[in-house]
Amino acid sequence: MAWDPLYDKVKHHLETIYADVSLDVSYDTLTEQLLAAIGIASSEDIASPQSHHNYWDEEDIIMITYGDSVIRDNEKPLVTLNNFLHQYCKNTINNVHILPFFPYSSDDGFSVIDYSTVNESLGSWDDIEAIAKDYGLMTDLVINHCSARSVWFDNFIKSEGPGSDFFFTADPQDDLSMVTRPRVSPLLRETETAEGTKYVWCTFSHDQVDFDFRNPKVLLAFVDIIKLYIDKGTKLFRLDAVAFLWKIVGSNSINLFQTHEVVRLLRTLIEHVDPSIIIITETNIPNRENLTYFGNANEAHAIYNFSLPPLLVNTLVTGDCTYLKSWMMSMPPAQNGTAYFNFIASHDGIGLRPAEGLLDDEEISELVHTMQNFGGKISWRASEHGKQKPYEINITLFDALQGTTKGPDRFQVDRFICAHSIMLGMEGIPGLYIHSLLGTSNDYEKVANTGQNRSINRRRWNIDELETLLDSPFSQHHKVLTRVSQLIRIRKAQPAFHPNATQFTLQLGNEIFGYWRQSLDRKQSIFCVNNICDEEKTILLSDINLIGTDNWIDLVTRDEICLSSGFIQLKPYQTLWISNQDFE
């Protein structure tokens, strides 16, 4: 099949990736090995992806959860999760990101011991496939590193067998001063092997040992893993920490062109197996660098919109949308075939690196101080000249929005719902962390037990206790789930909320954050207007330019908009979705 266009394309990717690497295998052989690994043995196996085609629409919502975020005695957590989804999410959620569900040694799953099996404490592949039958399954491809307790790393130590040459090493005397780090631990791990002392590169922790993708055997191993996950029902791949994949001593070893080319190669292989499978890159880096992972609609289908969480939280605790508005105006529309993946809470904290260049140091400092006053923890990273800078804020989103810079107040739930209203209306595919859907508060007991700041937002709910709370109309959990679910149902019915529908930022002052969406067929318009402060505000209808010949309705309240009144009064943190059509 050497004459097939796919063959030539894969070979070209390889020639670009390994241009500066001496290989002991030919590009033709490696191309054939990769195509075989992904399951393409002949031209008949090749699917035909459409360029710039959107494999998503306004109905797509992704829930992010651990496999054991909800548990029941004497029941596998994945079974409990599936039951929870069917009971509470069947009319709202259609995709589920189950965070790493493999055997692991640390970092709550992101230090993978074995990529090919399901953690027995969670369930089995049968349980994963059962969820994948009813929901689009999003699976982590932890591609930058694995556990120091893996068989691969054991073989590295023994200097024999698969994995013996899979890991990146450097010399302590090398100039590593430019390396970008998300942690303050030493970069190199001293390791005694059968071939003597080696120093293994560890971007995140000494239990997370980094792969050496200069060795094509590593690439082949991951294509085998990708094929397995596809066979088990995966429809979305999250490429974890992919920005750090390629290392070059003497460089910053982040976002290197070889990394981008590896993503392009994986995209090429995957989309020729199943064009509907989506790749999402997880690159917790400054905004400008993050955008490069779209490529020319030939890398990631979607990128995490990492700047949104810190900017939105900052907006709602200061009552000033200046920075959020400036950022939104600067964001290029995602071209067809690509989309932003919007989220405002996740299993990690509120990243601050993506706010660099968007919030100044004083704003970041005030935000950090406010979150600490709300019970949040701060994780740090090493920066230039060995200084430490805040890397992320560890706090549940519900508690992050319990008040303003002035302190806690009575608007916690309304402020929290406002945050989700803003996200759900924006251009892009929404992702909701399970603990935001449930209105979960900070888990200080888990932090004390684990010693890890991130545990504050990783509560493990007993499903019987949770169901009691969700059934109580007076609990924060019931209020949050009910109101967020209502917003999701409204969103899913509106063509103007398609992830690629037109978006335009409105100029309504610093205390009203607004934007306009228009459906791809230009028939539906929605004006999303949000009071982001703790006082009532008035907006003039002339400021949002509602066309007088149309009938307008607020999709949230179902109230008709009376154009003759000339204005609308907004309660603190109220959201209006003003539309000329209602499809719910």
Residues annotated as catalytic are 240
Contact 432, 439 (CB under 8 A): no
Query: How many Cβ atoms are within 10 Å of 464's Cβ, its own excluded?
Result: 10
Give pairs for 559-568: CB < 8 Å, separation 24+. 565/541, 566/540, 566/541, 566/542, 567/538, 567/539, 567/540, 567/541, 568/529, 568/538, 568/539, 568/541
Q: Has 239 been labeled as part of a binding site?
A: yes
First CA to last CA across the chain, in angstroms? 50
47 within 8 A of 82, measured Cβ to Cβ: no
DSSP per residue over 179-224, as a string? ---SSSS-SEEEEEETTEEEEEE-SSBTTEEEB-TTSHHHHHHHHH
Q: Is 238 annotated as a binding residue?
A: yes
Go through the chain and tell me how many residues it has. 584
Could you tell me which of 563, 524, 519 has the C-alpha nearest to residue 544? Answer: 563
Residues 572 and 534: beta-carbon distance below 8 Å: yes
Checking phi first, is residue 351 left (phi over 0); if not, alpha (psi -120 to 50) or beta?
Answer: beta
454 in a labelled binding site: yes
- The count of other CB atoms within 10 Å of the CB of residue 551 is 13
Query: Is residue 427 within 8 Å of 334, Cβ to Cβ?
Result: yes
Residue 181 marked as a ligand binder: no
Q: Are 67 and 85 in contact (CB under 8 A)?
A: no
Q: How far apart are CA 438 and CA 339, in angstroms?
A: 26
Residue whose token pair is 């979305």? 236
Distance of CA 302 to the CA centre of its chain: 9
Residue 471 in marked binding region: no
Distances, alpha carbon 426 to alpha carbons 303, 463, 497, 582, in Å: 14, 32, 7, 18
AA identity, residue 542: S
Q: Does residue 301 have a known ligand-binding role?
A: no
Q: Which of 116, 137, 67, 337 is nearest to 226 (CA)?
A: 116
Rg (CA), the chain: 24
In angstroms, the CA 210 to CA 143 distance is: 9
Known binding residues for substrate are 107, 145, 238-240, 347-348, 454
Known binding residues are 107, 145, 238-240, 347-348, 454
